[in-house]
């Protein structure tokens, strides 16, 4: 559980706020026609490169399963479209500054990040 973060008002914390303002809207972006009416709903993650760190995507899986499911679906769609390689990009496990890490910590970050990526995508 994340502590209350006053600076994320009116949301409980920054994960909730960024999810509401960015991640969720990108799973259902409105495409407007000439008259300003919605003509289509688009999952942007199907068409853009993206990455989510393991701790953030774990949070989405638990607290915003609809958004999480849309992200996983977009990766499946893009992987089919690109012959097996989708839009999702793997990253180290934590928000570590990799050039400052020792060799063992770098190897661990990469190993754990790859493991989480393979599990999800």
How much is the pLDDT for 92?
Answer: 95
In whole angstroms, give the CA distance from residue 51 to residue 71.
Answer: 10
How much is the pLDDT for 60?
Answer: 98
Give the number of other Cβ atoms within 10 Å of residue 52's Cβ. 21
Give the number of other Cβ atoms within 10 Å of residue 83's Cβ. 7
Q: What is the pLDDT of residues 38-75, one digit of tens each?
A: 999 999 999 999 999 999 999 999 999 999 999 999 99
In whole angstroms, give the CA distance from residue 88 to residue 48.
Answer: 8
CA nearest 72: which of 88, 93, 91?
88
Tokens of 50: 């993206």
Q: What is the pLDDT of residues 74-86, one digit of tens each?
A: 999 999 999 999 9
In whole angstroms, give the CA distance from residue 27 to residue 68.
Answer: 9
Q: What is the pLDDT of residues 99-117, one digit of tens each?
A: 999 999 999 999 999 999 9
């Amino acid at each position: 559980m994340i502590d209350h973060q006053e600076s994320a008002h009116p949301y409980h914390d920054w994960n909730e706020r960024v999810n509401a303002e960015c991640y969720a809207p990108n799973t259902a972006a409105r495409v407007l026609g000439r008259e300003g009416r919605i003509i289509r709903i688009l999952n942007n993650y199907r068409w853009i490169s993206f990455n989510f760190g393991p701790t953030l995507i774990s949070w989405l899986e638990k607290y915003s399963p609809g958004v999480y499911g849309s992200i996983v679906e977009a990766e499946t769609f893009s992987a089919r479209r690109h012959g097996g390689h989708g839009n999702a990009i793997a990253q180290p496990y934590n928000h570590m500054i990799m050039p400052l890490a020792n060799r063992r910590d770098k190897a661990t970050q990469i190993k754990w990040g790859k493991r989480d990526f393979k599990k999800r995508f």
